[in-house]
Amino acid sequence: MSRPNLVFIMSDDHAAHAISAYGSRINETPNLDRIAADGMRLDSAFCTNSICAPSRAAILTGTYNHVNGVTTLATPLDSELWTFPHALRDAGYRTGMIGKWHLGHGPGADPSGFDFWRVLPGQGHYHNPVMLQADGVVVERGGYVTDLITDDTIRFIDRAEGEPFAVFCHHKAPHRSWEPSREHFTMYDDVDIPEPDTFRDDLVGRAEVIQAVKMRMMDLDPITDLKAVVPDGLTLDEEIAWRYQRYIKDYLRVVASIDDNVGRLLDHLEATGLADNTIVVYTSDQGFFLGDHGWFDKRLMYEESLTMPLLIQHPGTIEPGSTSDDIVINVDFAPTLLDLMGVDPGDLDQPMQGRSFAPILRGDGADDWPTSMYYRYWMHRDGSHQCPAHYGVRTRTHKLICYYNDPLDQPGAAGPADPIEWELFDLVADPLEVDNIIDHPDSAAVRDELIAELQRLQAEVDDTPFPGALDALSTAPGE
C-alpha cells in the first residue's frame, strides 16, 4: 500500500470530558466517536503546557517550550524553526494548514513547511471570518468558521488528486467566546446540563495562588461570554448555577458543530475511497475546565486542563475500538506521525525530544515506555486569569506541582512574584484532586519520590529548576 495520508484535526480548548467516547456526562459526539470506534482512544494524553500557542509549538516541533521558545501566548513560533510538516513535505507529501494557527503572522512568523496555508488572524471570528494566505492574500467570505475550515480542508484533499497529502484542519472552536452556528443556536434550550462533581469546590487546602485564580463562573462576562443580562433577584448560588448553564450550553453547541463537520470530513474520505489509507487524528491543543472546581478555562496542571483528547484511526494499523492508558504527551506527536507515515525520526537531523508511540498504536506495546511526564506553565498571573507560573510531574498514580510563582520576565506574563507553594495529589484515592496532601505526614515518602522524579525529568528535558523551590516545603526532602 502507498504511504498513508494524514488528516490532523485539532480543535481549540475541547476537553475530553465533552466527548461521548470519553464518557461525557453532558453531550453526545457521534462523529468523534466514529474515530474511537474505528481506531484507538488514548486515555492519558497530556499537554506539557496547557495554553494555545505553546501546545501548538510543542506538537509541530516535537520539543518542549523552553527549547522551541514558545513559552507564552506572546512568543511567536520562529518560521525558520523546523517542524514536522517540513519533513513530510521533504518526503514528497503535499502539506496544508487550514484554520487556527495562532503562532504569529508576518515576516518571520507566517506558517512554514506548507504547500498551502489559509489561517485565521490571531483568534479569528466565529461568523464571517477573514482568513489569511501567503503573499498577503486576504480571503473574505460569509459563513460559520467551523464549516468554512472543513470546506477548505475537503477542497485541499480533492486538489491533491491522488498524491500523498498531510492536511492540518485546525478549528477555532470551541474557544471562548463560544458563539454557536445558526443550526445549533437553540440546542439544549429545554434541558439543564448536569453540574460537575467539583462544581462547588471551595478550594480549601489548595495553594493560595490557586484559590486566587480568576476563572470562576462569576469571572465570566455576562455580555461577551454569556450573551445575556443577569436576571434580577438571584441569590449568589442561583447566579452561579445560571452562569454555568449559559456558559456550558454555548460551549456544547459549538462542539456540536465540530462533531457535525468531523462527520462530513469522515464521510468525504469514505466516499472518495481515501479512508483506507488515511490516518485521521482528532485532538485539541489542551483540555478545559467545564465548571470543574468551579472554573472555566485551562492553564493549570489539574486533570481537566492537562488532558488532551486523542483519537486516532488508521485502518490496517490500529485495531478498531482499542484504547491505551500509556502516558503520551504533545511533544510525542511529531515523531509518532512521522513514524506512521514512513519517515524515520532517527534519520532526521532534528533535535526532537518526544518519542514515537507508534508501537502503542500498532498494539505492539512499548517496553520501557515513560510512566511520568513533565509540565510547565510560564505566564505568572497574566492579565485576566491570574493563573500562577508552575511546573510539576504527573505519574500514573500521583501529581506533584510546584507553584514557583515568578514571572521570570516572560513576555505576556505580569504581576509580582508570590511565595512558592506546593501541591500533591493521590490520583488513585482522590481522582478529583480536592485533597492536597503535600503536608500530610504519611505523604513524605511519596513526596520525596516525586521530587526526585521531577528533578530527573527536568534534567532529562534540559529545563531549569526554580532556585530555592525546595526550601518552601515544610520539611526538607528526606527528613
Task: List the one residue from 5, 9, 12, 48 that touches Ca ion (CB under 5 A).
Answer: 12
Minimum distance, C-beta of residue 349 to Ca ion, in the bound complex (Å): 31
Binding segment (CB under 5 A) for Ca ion, from list 270-278, 283-291, 357-365, 385-393: 283-291
Q: Are the beta carbons of 287 and 15 closer than 8 angstroms? A: yes
The contact pattern for Ca ion, residues 236-275, with x = CB under 5 A and - = no contact, is ----------------------------------------
Which residues does 338 contact at the CB level (< 8 Å), separation at least 6? 84, 87, 88, 344, 345, 348, 356
* DSSP-derived 3-state class of residue 243: helix
Which residue type is seen at 124?
G
Specify whether the backbone of 124 is left (phi greater than 0), alpha (psi in -120 to 50) or beta: left
> Shortest distance, CB of residue 351 to Ca ion, whole angstroms?
25
| Beta-carbon-side half-sphere exposure of residue 179 (alpha carbons within 13 Å) | 15
Size of the site for Ca ion (CB under 5 A): 4
Angle, vertex CA 206, rays to CA 202 and CA 212, nearest 5: 70
Stretch that binds Ca ion, among 230-238, 285-293, 380-388, 426-434 (CB under 5 A): 285-293
365 φ/ψ sector (left φ>0, alpha ψ -120 to 50, else beta): left
C-alpha cell read off for 362: 500498532
Q: Which stretch binds Ca ion (CB under 5 A): 12-20, 87-95, 187-195, 351-359?
A: 12-20
Question: C-beta of 385: minimal distance to Ca ion in Å?
Answer: 13
| 297 near Ca ion, judged by CB under 5 A | no
End-to-end CA gap in the chain: 60
Q: Which residue lies nearest Ca ion, judged by its C-beta?
A: 52
CB of 377 to Ca ion, least distance (A): 13
Options 5, 13, 48, 437; binder of Ca ion; rule CB under 5 A: 13
Looking at beta carbons only, is 70 or 438 nearer to Ca ion?
70
Q: Please, which residue, 5 or 61, has the CB nearer to Ca ion?
A: 61
* Cell numbers linked to 471: 526550601
Closest CA to 351 of 335, 371, 338, 336: 335
Min dist. Cβ of residue 416 to Ca ion (A) = 27
Minimum CB–partner distance for residue 170 and Ca ion (Å): 10
Least distance to Ca ion from the beta carbon of 11, Å?
8
Instruction: Indicate whether 285 belongs to the interface with Ca ion (CB under 5 A).
Output: yes
Phi, psi angles (nearest 5°) of residue 11:
-95, 180
Contacts of 399 (CB under 8 A, 6+ apart): 301, 392, 393, 423, 424, 425, 427, 433
**Shortest Cβ 336–Ca ion spacing (Å):** 21
Nearer to Ca ion, 12 or 38 (CB): 12
Contacts with 418 (C-beta within 8 Å, 6 or more apart), sequence order: 208, 209, 380, 381, 388, 403, 405, 406
Tell me: does residue 304 bind Ca ion (CB under 5 A).
no
- x/- letters, 24..63, toward Ca ion (CB under 5 A): ----------------------------x-----------
With cell 502539506, the residue in question is 95
Task: Select the span of 264-272, 281-289, 318-326, 417-425 touching Ca ion (CB under 5 A).
Answer: 281-289
Task: Report in angstroms how near the CB of residue 159 gets to Ca ion at its nearest.
Answer: 29
Q: Which residues bind Ca ion (CB under 5 A)?
A: 12-13, 52, 285
